Structure 1
Amino acid sequence: MRINGVQIYYEKHGHAHQNHPVLIMVHGYLSSTFSFRSLIPYLKEQYNIYALDLPGFGQSEKSMTFVYSLDNYAKLVLAFIEAMNIKHAVLIGHSMGGQICLNAAKKDPEHILRVVCLSASGYMGKVKSSLRFASYIPFMSYYVKRYFEKKDVMKVFLDVVHDKELIDEPMKEGYLKPMRDFNFYRTLLRLARHREGDMYSSELNQIKQPVLLLWGSEDKIVPVSIGERLKKDLPCSEMKVYQNTGHLLPEEKPAEVAKDIQRFIGLT
């Protein structure tokens, strides 16, 4: 589907139920719809579910004209909701996707009923000016690609997942496959240029919808302290922390996350 001038890959799961909101899932940085593969089966019998690949990630277009800002990502999510004629939605965002979902909820309280943040990023400033400047250097995308290729893949996974037993070959392949597209690195540079800072406390204070904050106690990427700070800044929020869990909540605790989402929406 083409939305706001860019080709978007999305997946549709589940069944429409009268009076049930539609669930829209938004992945985090360096990820894709693949990150929700374990969570969706627990929810698809009760809900209509859409999972999106953000521009630049997964199977969506690696556009050289799209503005890769959080604000523009939020506008794209809302444009998708409008294109699908969705009246009432619950946004579920992981990591950077959580920040995008909060941004979208602030913009459109009429259609966004609730937000679920899974280890949502927060309080990050703009990318350093030196990195933004470097993104304009000719052939920088080649250097970025080499940087990622040299990284120890297992160490990366061990940083985001607490239980190393979860890491298998299908999981590694699912997360690494999109990174084999050279244009992926070109869009990363554009994201570095365009990504503004996260929402300020004064902006978060304006979000009136209920927000559920779910976190892993062992999250090394976005620590629990970020969730606690978000809870203070979001007027209508609640928080739950899963013990012995890292950053990839949809992979590590899918059954528990699904149960808490159902409770939060009010179906259990």
Structure 2
Amino acid sequence: MTTAILVVVAVVVVVAALAAFLLWRDPYALIRAEFARERMALGLARRVVDIDGIRWAYAEGEARDADAPVLVMVHGFTGSKENWYPVARRLRGRYRLLIPDLPGWGESQREGVTDHGFAAQAARVAAFIRATCDRQVVVLGHSMGGGIAAVLAAREPGLVARVGLFDAAGVRFADNQFGLDVLAGSNPFGVHDRASLAAYFDILFHDRGALPAMPWPAPAILIARRRRDSAFEQAVLDDIGRGPEQFLPGEEAARIRQPALLAWGAHDRVIDPSAMDLYAAKMPQARKVLLDGSGHMTVMEQPDDIADAIERLLAAAPVEQGAHA
């Protein structure tokens, strides 16, 4: 064996050993690496910013036109910024995209962040927007992020030009098993083994083809991470699903005057589609889109339709003063 080959073999062995050591120390690094690969494939940059003592991680996509609208995409409960990547793929380049991990989730800071209710997170997102943008923005929120977006749009009309709510939490929708379980004190999204991981995805997705690939050893890594997060998830549900703020977004929605979009999966087993009409009753200016063939994860199951709906929201005329009772 030549010296050059021996050197290559030695380097490969060292790299493999180092990778094995790093995965042993932090198994979730494998999933973060896949997220980073997806982000770079979309041409998004990873950014980190400290705002009021909280570290935010976010993905940013620049627009070809400096005057293009700014879209702020807010993820839901147990989610992260990566949930929005399928939609970002359709909109990149035409708009500036800001896709944060909310405090407590993803790569953003959890330590020291004690209130994860709709009002506190809406105030934090407002601070994030002011720190990263110099103009009004379009806020798009999914699930828990939709409830946050509703409160933000109602309370910060000078900051939010338009708002999109996708399968949004925050109203008393028709009873389903998920909602009853939350009100009873449990976490229907809890994951502790392979069976509960499969159940978690079954609740979220109607179109199983939209599920992200989970090659070995990703399922085991994700299960371990979700076990560690179980107490945190319950605390967040106490704030948004069982506490005094559980219906705050629906109450605040009556104050939203901006052009608005409501989009729901017709087969949503988390936030029942009846929630869309409850929001619409408070927001008569909102355009409604019901997506057949989609469950709760509309932003991943039908990203083309979601992107088209967002484009229509951006093209909508401003709401006339006095048109909203």
TM-score bracket for this pair, using the shorter chain length: 0.7 to 0.9
Q: 1:114 aligns with which of 155, 162, 183?
A: 162
Deviation at 1:120, TM superposition (A): 0.8
Q: Which amino acid aligns with 2:276?
A: G
Q: CA separation in 1, counterparts of 2:92 and 2:215? A: 21
- Structure 2 match to 1:156: 200
In structure 2, the residue matched to 1:57 is: 105
> Which deviates further from its counterpart, 158-167 or 67-76?
158-167
Query: Which structure: larger Rg?
Result: 2
Q: 1:177 to 1:8 in 2, by over 3 A?
A: farther
Q: Which string of whole-angstrom CA distances, capped at 9 and with x for unpartnered residues, describes residues 152-203 of structure 1?
A: 21222122111112224349959x7497177634433442444422226553
- Which letter does structure 2 place at the counterpart of 1:149? H
The answer (yes or no) to whether the contact 2:76–2:146 under 8 Å persists in 1 is: yes
C-alpha separation in 2, matches of 1:234 and 1:68:
25
- Closer/same/farther in 2, CA of residues 189 and 241 from structure 1, 3 Å limit: closer
Q: Secondary structure at the match of 1:246?
A: coil
Provide the alpha-carbon RMSD of the alignment: 2.8
Relative to 1, partners in 2 of residues 1:43 and 1:200: Cα closer, same or farther, differing over 3 Å? closer
2:247 counterpart residue number: 198
1:47 aligns with 2:95: yes
Match of 1:180 in 2: 225
Q: Which residue of 2 aligns with 1:17?
A: 65
State the TM-score, normalized to the length of structure 2.
Answer: 0.70
SS at match of 1:39: helix
* 1:188 aligned partner, one-letter code: E
Query: Could you say if the C-alpha distance between residues 85 and 34 of structure 1 is closer, same or farther in structure 2, counting changes exceeding 3 Å?
Result: closer
- Write out per-residue CA displacement over residues 229-258 of structure 1, whole angstroms, 9 at most, x where no aligned residue: 111111421101111111101111111111
Shift in alpha-carbon separation, 1:228–1:41, aligned structure 2, 3 A: same
Once the two structures are superposed, residues 135-157 of structure 1 have per-residue CA deviations (whole angstroms, 9 ceiling, x without a partner) of: xxxxxxxxx9xx62135212221
Q: Give the counterpart letter for 2:208 in structure 1.
A: K
Equivalent residue letter for 2:225: R
Is the contact made by 2:167 and 2:276 (CA closer than 8 Å) also made in structure 1?
Answer: yes
Structure 1 stretches of 4+ with a deviation exceeding 4 A read 170-174, 176-179
Q: Tell me, in whole angstroms, the C-alpha distance in 2 between the residues paired with 1:171 and 1:68.
A: 32
- Do the aligned residues in 1 keep the contact of 2:191 with 2:226 (CA within 8 Å)? no
What SS is found at the alignment partner of 1:169?
coil
Please, which runs of 5 or more residues in structure 1 have no aligned partner? 135-143
The Cα of 1:117 is off from its aligned counterpart by: 0.9
Q: Distance in 1 between matches of 2:153 and 2:85?
A: 24
3-state SS of 2:108 partner: coil
Structure 1 residue corresponding to 2:302, chosen from 240, 253, 267: 253
Letter in 2 for 1:122: G
Q: Residues 63-84 of structure 1, C-alpha deviation per residue, up to 9 Å, x if partnerless?
A: 2343211101000110011111
| Higher relative contact order, structure no. (Cα contacts within 8 Å, ≥ 6 residues apart) | 1
Separation in 2, partners of 1:122, 1:263: 24
Paired residue type of 1:238 = R
- The size of the alignment, in residue pairs, is 252
Equivalent of 1:78 in 126, 129, 149: 126
SS in 2 for 1:221: coil
Superposition deviation, residue 85 in structure 1? 3.1
User: What corresponds to 1:138 in structure 2?
Assistant: none
CA distance in 2, matches of 1:14, 1:105: 23
Residue matched to 2:15: none
- Alignment match, 2:312: 263
Contact 1:59 1:178 in 2 (8 A): no
- Which residue number corresponds to residue 141 of structure 1? none
- Equivalent position of 1:224 in the other structure: 273
Equivalent position amino acid for 1:169 in 2: A
TM-score after normalising by structure 1? 0.83
| C-alpha spacing 1:55/1:184, structure 2 compared with 1 (3 Å) | farther
CA, structure 1 residues 220+239, in 2 after alignment: closer, same or farther (shift >3 Å)?
same
- Evaluate the alpha carbon distance shift between residue 4 and residue 178 of structure 1 in structure 2; reply closer, same or farther with a 3 A threshold: farther
